[in-house]
Structure 1
Amino acid sequence: MYNPTVARLTQRALLGRRRAAILFVLPALLILISVAVRVFDGVDDQIASDVLGGFALATMVPLIGVIAGTGAIGPEIDDGSIVYLLSKPLKRSSIIFTKLIVAIAVTMAFSAVPTFIAGWILNGNGQQIAIAYTVAALVASIAYSALFLLLGTVSRHAVVIGLVYALVWETFFGSLVEGARTLSVQQWSLALAKKIGGDGIIASDVTLPLAVILLVGVTVAATWFAGQKLRTLKLAGEE
């Protein structure tokens, strides 16, 4: 299923100069905010949780997921260069799976790693908060990558739609509107964070069993639909 050549091409596209520069902005901002909070407020578990939950998990992770997930395939479909891959003797499910793995790896690297560093800066992993939010970021990276990869296969406006989803649904509705919380990747991942640490500081409106089911279900379904969509793309001469 995993194709090293497709992986190498996808990685090169995602980590080009312009896209890589964008990917570094949010992690750098998170670290800067964490340093400032630690300097001015000292060690405070609640503040650490607020920063990691409110900025890292609610904003940074989905936005990086948008960049990596849509960027793994969207531009190739938009400019037509995907035909070069589709003309090769490769299973289209293999192309989708490989691009998903690369998107997940990039999203994890640029979201989970800085989340862990920020957690240590904020409170030295007191109450396992740094580890809890890092695990949440890792899990959320998988679901977001699958969702935005699917979005990249079905719409030429994937980035815009993804940004609206990340900034409006996940950041606003997923955090503030009670009824929408059960349909938020952020809340699903918070259920895992709550189980690991926080001791009353980390909250989620979704139970852990339901969160696991939804995370796995959304990831599998999005990947499958992306593969189905790619199969419908026809090359010249195909019947």
Structure 2
Amino acid sequence: MNPTVARLTVRGLLGRRRGVLLLVVPALLLVISAIAAGSDGDKHDLTVKILGQLSLGTLVPILGLVVGTGAIATEIDDGSIVYLLAKPLPRWKIITTKLLVAIGTTWAIAGIPTFVAGLILYGTKDDLALGFTVGTLVAGAAYSALFLLLGVVTRHAVVAGLAYALIWESLIGNFVQGARTLSVQQWGLSVARAVAGDGVLTADVALGAAVPLLVVVIVAATVLASVKLGGLTLASEE
């Protein structure tokens, strides 16, 4: 990790209006959890629904999109990336540094509220809060890598990211069984089930498929983003 790149990335992610936006959804999750905790009904089902749909299904992809694309897309759009590329830094180091910052930010803003919401709703029973937290962390890492790649390869990264999260995962994934195999959300849910136990959670993707797919997405997105960033350098030098 390069400290200068990391510092600039953190400043860009948490400064101005983006920092406020990043706190809105986690705050909403905690408020809804606090209200729901006082309601009647099956606490287990309520916790699974809130953490599964609102946290893992909504909070994590939104934060991954905002953070992943914001880590580099803004610099590419306004041209300030040229100043960074002019430094004698390997392109892969720039990408990995920005990715680590994006993952860390996503973990802090999504993982911690998810765990707290789980404790509010269901306590420590069945490791449900812990399971969803771990699922949130692995899904957050994959979303960050995927959306960072989109921020490098297209100027419409936010639109492309929303299309994936809303159309593929939320719409197609809910109606087409096979599509869930290629859903980051389902991979995270599979990991959450492994932590909490099969009798506590159910998932459509086996852990043996989810973990390799998570690793492949993170590694492949990092490599492709590094290669693409190297191409941007060549273009600017020409």
TM over 0.5: yes
Q: Residue 59 of structure 1 contacts residue 171 of structure 1 at CA under 8 Å; is this kept in 2?
A: no
CA RMSD of aligned residues (A): 1.5
For 1:216 and 1:64, how far apart are their aligned partners in 2?
20
Shift of 1:177: 2.8
Q: Residue 34 of structure 1 contacts residue 121 of structure 1 at CA under 8 Å; is this kept in 2?
A: yes
1:11 matches 2:7 = no
Aligned residue in 1 for 2:195: 196
Residue aligned with 2:237, SS: coil
Q: Which amino acid aligns with 1:101?
A: L
Identity across aligned pairs (percent)? 58
Q: Residue 126 of structure 2 contacts residue 200 of structure 2 at CA under 8 Å; is this kept in 1?
A: no
Q: Which amino acid aligns with 1:76?
A: E
For 1:176 and 1:44, how far apart are their aligned partners in 2?
26
Q: Residue 174 of structure 1 contacts residue 186 of structure 1 at CA under 8 Å; is this kept in 2?
A: no
> Counterparts of 1:98-117 in structure 2 under 5 Å?
98-117=97-116
- Structure 1 unmatched runs, 5+: none
Shift of 1:131: 0.1
For 1:19 and 1:187, how far apart are their aligned partners in 2?
27
Aligned residue in 1 for 2:48: 49
Q: Residue 137 of structure 1 contacts residue 189 of structure 1 at CA under 8 Å; is this kept in 2?
A: yes
Aligned residue in 1 for 2:95: 96
| Structure 2 length-normalised TM | 0.96
Aligned residue in 2 for 1:35: 34
> Counterparts of 1:84-233 in structure 2 under 5 Å?
84-197=83-196, 199-233=198-232
Residue aligned with 1:200, SS: coil
Q: Residue 151 of structure 1 contacts residue 158 of structure 1 at CA under 8 Å; is this kept in 2?
A: yes
String of CA shifts for 1:107-160, please: whole Å, max 9, x gaps: 111111100000000011221110000000011111001000000001101012
The total of aligned residue pairs comes to 238
Residue aligned with 1:9, SS: helix
1:28–1:56: structure 2 CA closer, same or farther, 3 Å change rule? same
| Structure 1 length-normalised TM | 0.95
Shift of 1:199: 4.3
Shift of 1:164: 2.2
